[in-house]
């Protein structure tokens, strides 16, 4: 067994279920707060979920980090993206300077951003980008596998390692983003392989394509699946044949977050496909996932349904990068604030007997 396989195996086998006793206690505590039953909706659900992750009724999420996995994709040579590969490296660097959509939001809210190179092809100079490069971009999935099985395993192991480092750094809430030109194509191929849904039904326009390029993108994904024949029951087989280093490493972060009992926010389309990969490897990790916004990519809700998750924001966003994470972090923080600071009926000097009939329903 290789070191990467061992890391993945140990991670999966150490993921535990949520603390359902703590979740029940959180629900009971919420019922004492000065409000009609369930009136804070999803904030109460999130508060209960956080309790299940930590085992505590009252929690904080003081240190928040967005891990952004960056890699290039060989399928770009098929004309499936409006942007050149060089944009991957440029934006990875710009993220460290807080100049991109995601990173300027993260800076505003005081969130950490960790930019990680797992497969950037273009040369760049930026010490602030963490170098975990496995190879300089993947191969063209129309012609054969994106990478070797070992390389996909190494990428997953990198993600697991990053989540472990976050735990050591005292991070209490994680977000998972990406930067990789062409990765809406690879993520759609992965989603189609895992779910059996035709690329025709789940392919979106990514960063923007002409009608002609969009039609070609669908055909490219169909061809890649036909050429590689990924095994839908084997996530690593799917990732190494039609995925990307960014998606594989993101999958590892989701697994590692669950292993370390850290709540982890899903961003948009590529992020939720990576979360689905993690879920297929260990179904228990889904309890640690917090969706953020509904991506405009048409495959997003297919993946969300597979995970039985419903995003709580719909801002018509489709940027990626992890841009939904800083916004979702604020909502998670709000859910914790309710648990920590809201008065009970007793503290508010309110006789709650008027709610008895409602509670019995």
The residues that are catalytic are 321
> If 0-12 CB within 10 Å is exposed, 13-18 middle and 19+ buried, where does residue 227 land?
middle
CA distances from 116 to 93, 128, 302 (A): 10, 9, 28
Residue 86, token pair as written in the block:
């060089």
Distance of CA 68 to the CA centre of its chain: 10
Q: How many CA atoms lie within 13 A of 166 on its CB side?
A: 38
Are 322 and 271 in contact by the 8 Å Cβ rule? The answer is yes
* Distant-in-sequence, close-in-space partners of 95: CB < 8 Å, separation ≥ 6: 68, 102, 103, 113, 115, 179, 321
Using CA atoms, how far apart are residues 107 and 65, in angstroms rounded to an integer?
11
Terminal-to-terminal C-alpha distance of the chain: 55
């Amino acid at each position: 067994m290789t070191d990467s396989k061992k890391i993945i195996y140990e991670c999966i086998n150490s993921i535990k279920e949520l603390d359902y006793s703590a979740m029940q206690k959180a629900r009971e505590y919420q019922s004492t707060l000065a409000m009609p039953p369930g009136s804070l909706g999803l904030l109460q659900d999130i508060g209960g979920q956080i309790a299940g992750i930590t085992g505590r009724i009252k929690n904080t999420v003081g240190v928040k980090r967005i891990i952004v996995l960056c890699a290039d994709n060989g399928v770009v040579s098929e004309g499936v993206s409006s942007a050149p590969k060089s944009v991957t490296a440029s934006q990875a660097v710009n993220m460290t300077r807080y100049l991109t959509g995601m990173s300027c939001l993260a800076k505003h809210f005081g969130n950490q951003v960790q930019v990680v190179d797992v497969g950037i092809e273009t040369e760049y100079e930026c010490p602030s980008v963490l170098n975990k490069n496995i190879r300089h971009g993947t191969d063209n999935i129309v012609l054969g596998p994106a990478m070797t099985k070992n390389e996909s395993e190494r990428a997953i192991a990198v993600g697991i390692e990053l989540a472990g480092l976050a735990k050591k750094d005292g991070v209490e809430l994680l977000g998972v983003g990406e930067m990789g030109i062409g990765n809406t194509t690879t993520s759609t191929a992965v989603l189609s392989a895992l779910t059996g849904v035709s690329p025709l039904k789940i392919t979106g326009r990514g960063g923007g394509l002409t009608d002609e390029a969009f039609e070609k993108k669908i055909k490219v994904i169909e061809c890649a699946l036909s050429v590689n024949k990924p095994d839908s029951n084997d996530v690593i087989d799917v990732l190494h044949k039609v995925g990307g280093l960014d998606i594989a490493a993101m999958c590892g972060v989701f697994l590692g977050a669950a292993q370390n009992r850290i709540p982890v926010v899903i961003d948009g389309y590529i992020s939720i496909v990576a979360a689905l990969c993690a879920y297929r490897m260990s179904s228990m990790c889904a309890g640690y996932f917090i969706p953020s916004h509904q991506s405009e990519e048409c495959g997003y809700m297919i993946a969300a349904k597979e995970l039985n998750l419903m995003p709580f924001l719909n801002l018509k966003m489709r940027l990626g990068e992890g841009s939904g994470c800083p916004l979702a972090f604020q909502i998670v923080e709000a859910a914790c604030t309710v648990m920590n600071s809201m008065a009970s009926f007793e503290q508010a000097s309110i006789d709650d007997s008027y709610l008895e009939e409602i509670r019995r329903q």
